[in-house]
Amino acid sequence: MKKAYFLIGVLALSFAQLLAQTNYVITRPDNVTLYVNEYGAGKPVILLGGGPGLNPGYLVPICQNMTGYRFIIPHQRGSGQSKMDKVDSLNMSTDKYVEDLEALRIQLKLSKLIIAGHSWGGMLGFAYAAKYPDKVDRLILLGPGGITSTFFTYFDSNIQMRLHEEDNEEAKKSTAREGGLKAIIPGYFFNRERALIMKNMLDSTLMNRNQSAIYKFTIKSYTATQADRVKDIRKYKNPVYIIQGRQDPIGESTVYETKEALPQTKFTFIEECGHFPWLEEEKAVAEFYQLLNSALKN
């Protein structure tokens, strides 16, 4: 059986649809070229995708359905157009991701960032706020992983329990990684019918060929640095908002872990909703956008 890989995030858009209103690159000291897309106009918001190592194109519907904001979507190292030939523990450290985000802040000439992070993107938000607590205006976390990696102990089983026999059979027969991911998508949704629609919209070109290695090295680094992160994140005093589906396979413990470390955290669970609120049924979608807009405006 294919392992239920964390935070797939390759839904809904073809690569061509990633063309944004503004596109540019940032070259890092280790010669990694980071691509950045911008959508809309207004208050700047950094929108961080999941993975790690997956194209952030699945976030574009959020940009298209909200006005009054300048959404800035970096293709994190190794994801999307920010491809890397050499993937190892040095290049994929949590600190490298954090410094990439700091380089983006400097490029944008912003004193503080509004960070909206989905899944792994929320975990990166934690890491950045732990190192640069005075550089974050607010954290808006959309079905985030935890400040620690504890949730991995049950995440896989939460995915597996939602899959049907035909999903597992499809995963077994798949020889390509993207095929295995496609097979287990229903495990991330509350509504299976909606999940199957999204499944048919998967585009394998949104997946970096090194995604497995990127995932492995990044999560290993995140786990190795969690003790310092738990300690340092308490220095962050600005607002934290969590928007999460009640049936998100990440589970609720990450929310309470965040609340314990950051007492200022405000959270809302969307009922009958999985890991991708903006791709679920109409009621969940409407509530998601209302909550996100409120968190951005407050």
DSSP string across 44-83: EEEEE--TTTB-GGGGHHHHHT--SEEEEEE--TTSTT--
Residue from 100, 140, 99, 127 nearest 230 by CA? 127
Q: Could you tell me if residue 290 is inside a domain?
A: yes
| Segments forming the whole domain that contains residue 200 | 15-297
Identify the CA nearest to 96 among candidates 8, 31, 25: 31
Looking at residue 83, what is its pLDDT? 85
Q: Which residue has the higher pLDDT, 29 or 179?
A: 29
Q: Count of domains in the chain?
A: 1
In a domain, 131, yes or no: yes
Residue 206 predicted with pLDDT over 60: no
Residue 20 resides in a domain: yes
Cis status, amide bond into 52, omega within 30 of 0? yes
The pLDDT value recorded for residue 99 is 98
Alpha-carbon Rg for the chain in angstroms:
18
Pull the structure tokens for residue 143: 């079905």
C-alpha distances in Å from residue 6, one per residue of 84, 231, 264: 21, 25, 27
Integer Cα distance of 42 and 297 in angstroms: 12
Position 199 scores a pLDDT of 80
Which range has the worst mean pLDDT, 158-172, 203-217, 248-262, 284-298? 203-217
Q: What's the rounded mean pLDDT across residues 157-181?
A: 82
Distances (CA, A) of 56 to 80, 118, 171, 224, 240: 7, 10, 23, 25, 22
Mean of pLDDT values over 197-201: 79
Q: Cβ atoms within 10 A of the Cβ of 283, count?
A: 12
The yes-or-no verdict on residue 249 having pLDDT over 60 is yes
pLDDT surpasses 60 at 11 = no
On whether residue 23 sits in a domain, the answer given is yes
Distance CA 227, CA 149 (A): 11
Residue 230 in domain: yes
As a whole number of angstroms, the distance between CA 181 and CA 66 comes to: 29
Instruction: Give which of 143, 97, 125 is closest to 252, Cα–Cα.
Output: 143
Phi, psi dihedrals of residue 101, rounded to the nearest 5°: -65, -40
Q: Is residue 253 part of a domain?
A: yes
Number of H helices, E strands in the chain: 11, 8
Residue 2 lies in a domain: no
Exposure string over 2-16, b if 16+ CB within 10 A, otherwise e: bebbbbbbbbbbeee
pLDDT classification of 171: cutoffs 50, 70, 90:
confident
Q: Rounded to an integer, what distance in angstroms lies between the CA atom of residue 56 and that of residue 76?
A: 8
What pLDDT is recorded for position 202?
65
Cα–chain-centroid distance for residue 127? 13
Residue 8's pLDDT is what? 37
Give the pLDDT score at 297.
Answer: 93
Per the model's pLDDT, the better-predicted residue between 201 and 76 turns out to be 76
Sort 232 into a burial class: Cβ within 10 Å, 0-12 / 13-18 / 19+: middle
Residue pLDDT, tens place only, 80-119: 889 888 899 999 999 999 999 999 999 999 999 999 999 9
Q: Is residue 159 part of a domain?
A: yes
Residue 178 pLDDT: 57
**CATH for 240:** 3.40.50.1820
The whole-number pLDDT of residue 175 equals 60
Mean pLDDT of 140-148: 97
The helix or strand, by DSSP H or E, that contains position 296, with its residue range, turns out to be helix 282-297
- Reported as a single tens digit per residue, the pLDDT across 39-74 is 999 999 999 999 898 889 889 999 999 999 999 999
DSSP three-state, residue 285: helix
Q: Is there a contact between 147 and 230 (Cβ–Cβ < 8 Å)?
A: yes
